[in-house]
């Protein structure tokens, strides 16, 4: 865990500001170069440490979810960004912190009206942080490039060469239900998604 990361269970609010007399950290959304989110996050963390501005910054999060891809029958888990090109940053907005963020390579701007950073609402951030926590308990999703209703051909297994239409998709297990005709009757069969190909 990064030194700058704090306990997610408490989201600073305006009440904290009144109680401590110090400005509360708020969550902001940064537009950044897509596919460079992790590098930009690391650069921000380095600059915060170098400039001794830790007191103005909390967590910097790249919201992700885990997906399973199957290639050649082998399952591989990878993290997929939920919001490509965006980073969530917890900070006290002042001249120093604003300049540090804006002056970091790859950072476009804060989301907000006409360049003025607008903090996220507490309920929005609680929902997004909830997604991050839930990600740990939740079963990983399988990436399936098929949709219900697609016509497919079965490539292997007992029903090899049969054609049918997809009736249901389970992106947790990676299994699909295909409706094929057996002895003149439509019959659903359960298959792994990689056992079929779209026609």
The predicted structure's pLDDT at residue 44: 96
H or E element: which one contains 80?
Answer: strand 74-81
Question: What's the pTM?
Answer: 0.56
What pLDDT, in 10s, does the model give residues 107-153?
A: 888 877 566 788 888 777 777 766 555 555 555 677 778 889 899 99
Q: Kindly report the CA angle at 117 between 115 and 120, in degrees rounded to 5?
A: 140
What pLDDT, in 10s, does the model give residues 10-69?
A: 344 444 454 555 678 899 988 899 889 999 999 999 999 999 999 999 999 988 877 777
| Distance linking the first and last C-alpha atoms of the chain | 47
What pLDDT, in 10s, does the model give residues 147-186?
A: 898 999 988 888 888 999 999 888 777 788 899 888 888 8
Mean pLDDT of 75-102: 86
Domains and CATH numbers, the chain: 14-142 (3.30.70.940), 151-198 (2.30.30.30)
């Amino acid at each position: 865990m990064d030194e700058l990361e704090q306990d997610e269970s408490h989201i600073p609010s305006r009440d904290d500001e009144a109680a401590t007399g110090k400005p509360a950290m708020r969550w902001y959304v940064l537009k950044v170069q897509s596919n460079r989110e992790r590098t930009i996050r690391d650069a921000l963390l380095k600059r915060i440490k170098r400039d001794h501005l830790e007191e103005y910054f909390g967590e910097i999060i790249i919201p992700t979810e885990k997906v399973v891809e199957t290639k050649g029958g082998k399952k591989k888990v990878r993290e997929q960004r939920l919001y490509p090109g965006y980073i969530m940053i917890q900070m006290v907005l002042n001249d120093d912190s604003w300049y540090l963020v804006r002056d970091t390579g790859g950072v476009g701007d804060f989301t907000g009206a006409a360049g003025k950073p607008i903090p996220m609402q507490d309920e929005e951030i609680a929902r997004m942080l909830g997604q991050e926590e839930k990600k740990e308990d939740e079963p990983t999703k399988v990436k399936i490039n098929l949709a219900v209703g697609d016509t497919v051909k079965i490539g292997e297994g007992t029903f090899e060469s049969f054609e049918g239409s997809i009736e249901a998709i389970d992106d947790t297990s990676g299994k699909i239900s295909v409706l094929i005709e057996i002895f003149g009757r439509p019959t659903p069969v359960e298959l792994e998604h990689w056992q079929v190909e779209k026609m």
